[in-house]
Amino acid sequence: MTARSTFLLIALLLVAAWPHPGQAHAIRIFAAYEGAAIRGSVYLPGGNPLAGASVAASDQAGRVVARTATDDQGQFTLSGGGGILLLTAETMDGHRAEFTLAAPKLAPGQGQADAPPAAARSNDELRALIEKAVARQLNPLREQLDREAHRRRLQDILGGLGYIAGLAGLALYGVARKKTGKRD
């Protein structure tokens, strides 16, 4: 490759590695319990929200227990069914994302089975309130972690280009060997 085209390629690389929002090549979904409800968002890898994506929650047997769609901010709310749920988001042009969500250990409304004394009942309520408050603090962090884990990195771009160059080299080597083989 000439020096000019190499320079151009490096310039393109830098532009490409620059983080910015973009169209959907993939979509991502994140969800967490807030109290008894599941709140989540569907977004593009760059961070932009995705409105109008259909979201379905299915249980471990594969039955769909709830359906909804994201609003203008890409957010959605579902009523939690307890247990481990698989949330899937889909768009009309064939993109799909999944998120597995486990119900928190103690959800409000799930108290002792037998009639509790007054003190125990308020303990349950307290626990539920604490869970809700902690969830509210943790969920943005969880969401950020999830996005960080899926971030595009410069080394991924360079790795891909390296693989392409390597494949081309292998191909050239293979064809060249075949040529010399035939001549002998």
Partner 1 sequence: MHLADGILTGPVLAGTTLLAVAGVALGLRRTDYEQIPQTAVLAAAFFVSSLIHVPLGPSQVHLVLNGLLGLLLGWGAFPALLVALFLQAILFGYGGLTALGANTLIMALPAVICGFLARPLLARGRHPVRLFAVGCLSGGLALVLNSIFLAAILYLSDREFLGVLSAIFLAHLPLLLVEGPLTGAAVLFLHKTKPEILTPGAHR
Residue 22 contacts partner 1 per CB under 8 A: yes
Residue 92 contacts partner 1 per CB under 8 A: yes
Where does this chain touch partner 1 (CB under 8 A) — which range of 63-71, 114-122, 136-144, 156-164?
Answer: 156-164
Closer CB to partner 1, residue 94 or residue 117? 94
Angle at 139 between CA 69 and CA 101, to 5 degrees: 60
Query: Shortest approach of partner 1 to residue 164 CB, angstroms?
Result: 5
Mapped to the 3 state alphabet, what secondary structure does the chain carry? CCHHHHHHHHHHHHHHHCCCCCCCCCCEEEEEEECCEEEEEEECCCCCECCCCEEEEECCCCCEEEEEECCCCCEEEEECCCCEEEEEEECCCCCEEEEEEECCCCCCCCCCCCCCCHHHHHHHHHHHHHHHHHHHHHHHHHHHHHHHHCCCCHHHHHHHHHHHHHHHHHHHHHHHHHHHHHHC
Residue 150 contacts partner 1 per CB under 8 A: yes
Residue 164 contacts partner 1 per CB under 8 A: yes
Query: Shortest approach of partner 1 to residue 172 CB, angstroms?
Result: 5
The Cα 144–Cα 113 span in angstroms is 37
Where does this chain touch partner 1 (CB under 8 A) — which range of 54-62, 94-102, 112-120, 121-129?
Answer: 94-102
- Residues 3, 62, 93, 113: which binds partner 1 (CB under 8 A)? 93
Residue 37 contacts partner 1 per CB under 8 A: no
**What sign has the CA pseudo-torsion 167, 173, 174, 176?**
positive
Residue 47 contacts partner 1 per CB under 8 A: no
Residue 69 contacts partner 1 per CB under 8 A: no
Interface positions with partner 1 (CB under 8 A): 1, 5, 9, 12-13, 15-17, 20-23, 25-26, 45, 88, 90, 92-97, 150, 152, 156-157, 159-161, 163-165, 167-168, 171-172, 175-176, 179
